[in-house]
Chains A and B, each alone.
Chain A
Amino acid sequence: MMSGKILYSYTGIFDTPDQIMHAAEKAVETGYTKYDVNTPYPLHGMDKAMKLKPSKLGYVALVFGLSGTLATLLTIWWMSAIDYPIVIGGKPLFSFPAYVPIIFEVTVLSAAIMTVVSMLFFFFKLPNNSHPLHGTEYMKKVSADKYGISIQADDPKFNEAAVKKFLESVHASEIIPIYWDEEEISHKNKILEPKFIMFLIVVAVITSGVTYFSFNKLMYMVPFDWMMNQPKLSAQQQSPIFADGFGMRQPVAGTIARGSMVYQFKGQPDLAGVKLVNPIPISKESLALGQVKFDIYCSPCHGYNADGVSRLRGQFPNPPSLHSDKVRNWSDGRIFAVVTEGQNTMPSYASQLSFDERWAVINYLRALQRALNAKESDVQ
């Protein structure tokens, strides 16, 4: 240990590829194990000369490639056949041929990424810019046009005199010792260094600022605003185009909208009871529709069975049962009048229920009435 420095290796430089091949072969013969050959480009046959074992990275590629294949297959299967099964173009939920392209791409992707990552970070332990060979004349030469061998001090057979002699015997020029860099060995990472803390603070401020801006400001600016800002009128908006200033318009006088009908018996429920005839025959569909609408619109007050068992718990005048003789003897048209116009405290349901839906509700109500007041003949 001269001058307190720790020796890393002894290096020798060669001018031709043949010389370095020879030196590498001799180094193996002498029995050195911890040595390296540095050349500006791969030399062919050097792996044999150095007796290196074949690279295992091929297996890494195989394993990660196949894992990619399998993982993608399973993921796609789970996504399209299990988690969100939806038939597309009449194809089966799990349509393997269509998945081949993506499975192939992910296989290649995972194999390529993982092979390179394992080579650089696990096999080579890079990045490593503090290796003793860095920053030396030796490295400058072997990176350009010279070939070098470096025999490390931690080799079991290492002996300064012998190594020097060995390098001379293979005709190396410039036999130079390389030392560990004091500073690099004793260097400690100081996490609390003010510079580092400042850096962290700046990063934090910028990240939160950008995040705040994009979520709270940017997302409300055109064109990022989810198309909220459109040149059209929404319901209840003003419009300067019309004299009355309303955006919403009445139908043109004398016309009615497709599918809607005019109720002719306003204020005349009894006349409606006489004149209006239920046009919807009782059927499975009509009863089903009637049940849905009844349960939504009528049952909160009148109860699911129309027996006046309200779910409003007295917050509203209790409605009567619809099984009274009065209602049972009413014609469908008379009930229609109540639903359409309301009656005293009961509001109108004209805007919630279309004509057909009102008739369906009435059909269903009839079925309920019949169920509670079955005739002898119904049992037979």
Chain B
Amino acid sequence: MSTVDYTQELSVIEGKPPLRVLDDLISKPIDAKPTRKFFIALTISGSMLSLLVIGLGLTFYYGIGMWGNNIPVGWAFDITNFVFWVGIGHAGTLISAILFLLRQKWRTGIARFAEGMTIFAVMTAGLFPLIHVGRPWLAAYLFPYPNQHSIWVNFDSPLLWDVFAVSTYFIVSLIFWYVGLIPDFATLRERTNNKIKKITYSIFGLGWRFSNKHWQHYEMVYLILAGFATPLVLSVHTIVSFDFAVSIIPGWHATIFPPYFVAGAVFSGFAMVQNVLIIVRKIFNYEHIITLDTLEKMNKIMLLTGSMVGYAYAMEFFIAWYSGLPIERFTFVNRAFGSYAWAYWVMISCNVISPQLFWSKKIRRTIPVMFVIAIFVNIGMWFERFVIIVSSLSRDFLPSSWHLFTPTYVDFMILIGSFGFFFTWLLLFTKALPVVSMAEVKATVTGSQPSHKDH
């Protein structure tokens, strides 16, 4: 069984580095002592993380009245952040699973890192549904377990589907990631002379022997996992969009939501991965592994998904007009010209206009410009969720219940803190594990596969 035909395309790795050099380069950040830069970065993300801790402490002690949420705006920053972070995660699975199935070799350099980002993004996202229930230590109620109240959860509710989707997504991503890491743990185990490291790597490497009798099953399982992860990632944001689409709030009750949300998730996820990778390749000198070609391909995907998102915005307006429903029409006019018009236009300019610059090859290959565009995309995608959630809720069917939302300082602490949470994990990851898959990269170097000349 051969899963990927590595002999066809040109190598993604620039030049033809000896395999040992690749190992050295990839494991350098793990072996070397943390640098000053690393500590500065950790301090920044750590301080942001402490904002989260304080914000959550205030929330748990005094209750979620500390947030700006009100009736009817019962969802605001909390769910905006949740959808934003789940979306960030989607790029990782797309890169590791979908591009794997599509035999896109350029993914090898960035797959491990993107998968790591998926896991940390889903962890960050998972915080929000938990904290927004107010008493997260009772979150086990979300699962159907036999209990003394002798009742079961409501299987008809999209919010329950969400619980299953996000937790499945997290577990499967973690398994996928770990399976990819096993051979690398074994390589590290053989490289290191440090006793503690050796024990740790031996435990996590499970005693992998690089046997070809194992590789054969291993590749099969990797293919199966990729095959599962692909529909899974599509299902996750589809189900997240059901949280809105299945309700009847004007501006939410739309069949376009699932594809629109999935495209948006991939869009923002790629922007985040691109941002972080640009920094990583610079700091760790991975320019030959995470090449400019790879970044350009990511920019193309952003152009595609950004245009899909733009199309969805236009289509929402068209359907609102075409439906003939006055309330639906009002909602969309209100989005563009109402109290939250500023948020709407931030979203449009960041998400629809800025990625269009990627039509130019020059911009696609200029690192500072694409970095800025990707930041804009992230801002825009956060505002997209904010606009959908808050503008619809604050102007629902009954004018008597209309109420605007104003965030409090605790809302901002938690928002900034969520970035701290994410980046702290990411920084620790770069020091603890190989951020590029050694086994996969070695397999793609020119000349690393048999030439099959005697066949």
Contact = CB atoms under 8 A, between A and B. Distances in A.
Interface of A: 17-18, 20-22, 24, 36-47, 50, 52, 54-55, 57-58, 61, 75-76, 79-80, 83-84, 88-89, 91, 95, 98-99, 101-102, 104-106, 108-109, 111-113, 115-116, 119-120, 123-124, 126-131, 133-134, 139-140, 142-145, 222-224
Nearest to A24: B212
30 contacts: A18-B451, A36-B209, A36-B212, A36-B213, A40-B19, A40-B210, A40-B439, A41-B442, A42-B219, A42-B439, A42-B443, A43-B212, A43-B449, A47-B2, A55-B216, A55-B221, A57-B221, A98-B155, A101-B242, A102-B164, A113-B171, A113-B175, A115-B224, A119-B217, A124-B214, A127-B207, A128-B207, A133-B209, A143-B187, A144-B20
Given A50-B212, A102-B155, A131 B449 contact: no
Interface stretch (B35-43, B144-152, B365-373, B409-417): B144-152
B191 interface: yes
B448 interface: yes
Interface string B408-443: 000000000000000000000000000000111011
Contacts of B155: 76, 79-80, 98-99, 102
B212 A46 contact: yes
B44 interface: no
A222 B61 CA distance: 7
A102 B161 contact: yes
B217 A124 contact: yes
B190 A223 contact: no
B217 A116 contact: no
- Range for the number of chain B residues in contact with chain A: 35 or more
Given A40-B210, A131-B209, A223 B61 contact: yes
Which of B150, B164, B219, B451: most chain A Cβ within 10 A? Answer: B164
B190 A108 contact: no
A84 B151 CA distance: 6
A80 to B, nearest CB: 5
Contact of B209 (A57, A61, A139, A223): A139
B454 A22 contact: yes
B61 A79 contact: no
Given A40-B19, A84-B150, A144-B20, A109 B215 contact: no
Interface in B374-417: none
Contacts of A79: 144, 152, 155
A95 B156 contact: yes
Given A108-B168, A222-B61, A142 B210 contact: yes
Given A45-B455, A102-B160, A142-B210, 18 more contacts: A36-B209, A36-B213, A38-B210, A40-B442, A47-B216, A57-B217, A58-B220, A61-B228, A104-B231, A105-B168, A108-B228, A119-B221, A126-B207, A127-B203, A143-B190, A144-B191, A145-B19, A145-B20
B152 A115 contact: no
Contacts of A20: 450
Contact of A88 (B20, B154, B210): B154
A111 B231 CA distance: 13
Closest 7 CB pairs of A and B: A145-B19, A55-B220, A41-B443, A42-B215, A129-B207, A127-B206, A79-B152
Contacts of A88: 154, 156-157
B225 A116 contact: yes
B95 to A, nearest CB: 18
Nearest to B20: A145
Contacts of A124: 214, 217
Contact of A55 (B154, B183, B217, B438): B217
Nearest to A25: B454
Given A79-B144, A145-B23, A106 B211 contact: no
B286 interface: no
A109 B213 contact: no
A116 B2 contact: no
Contacts of A116: 175, 179, 221, 225
A39 B215 contact: yes
Contacts of B176: 112
A57 B218 CA distance: 9
B11 interface: no
A101 B161 contact: yes
Nearest to B239: A101
B410 to A, nearest CB: 15
B212 A80 contact: no
A134 B208 CA distance: 9
Interface in B79-106: none
B453 interface: yes
Nearest to B186: A143
Nearest to A219: B137
A144 B165 contact: no
A112 B217 contact: no
A223 B135 contact: yes
A108 B231 contact: yes
B222 to A, nearest CB: 9
A119 B213 CA distance: 12
B142 to A, nearest CB: 12
A17 B445 CA distance: 12
B185 to A, nearest CB: 10
Nearest to B176: A112
B207 A58 contact: no
B212 A42 contact: yes
B60 A39 contact: no
A115 B6 CA distance: 25
Contact of A46 (B151, B172, B215, B218): B215
Nearest to B242: A101
Contacts of A139: 190, 209-210
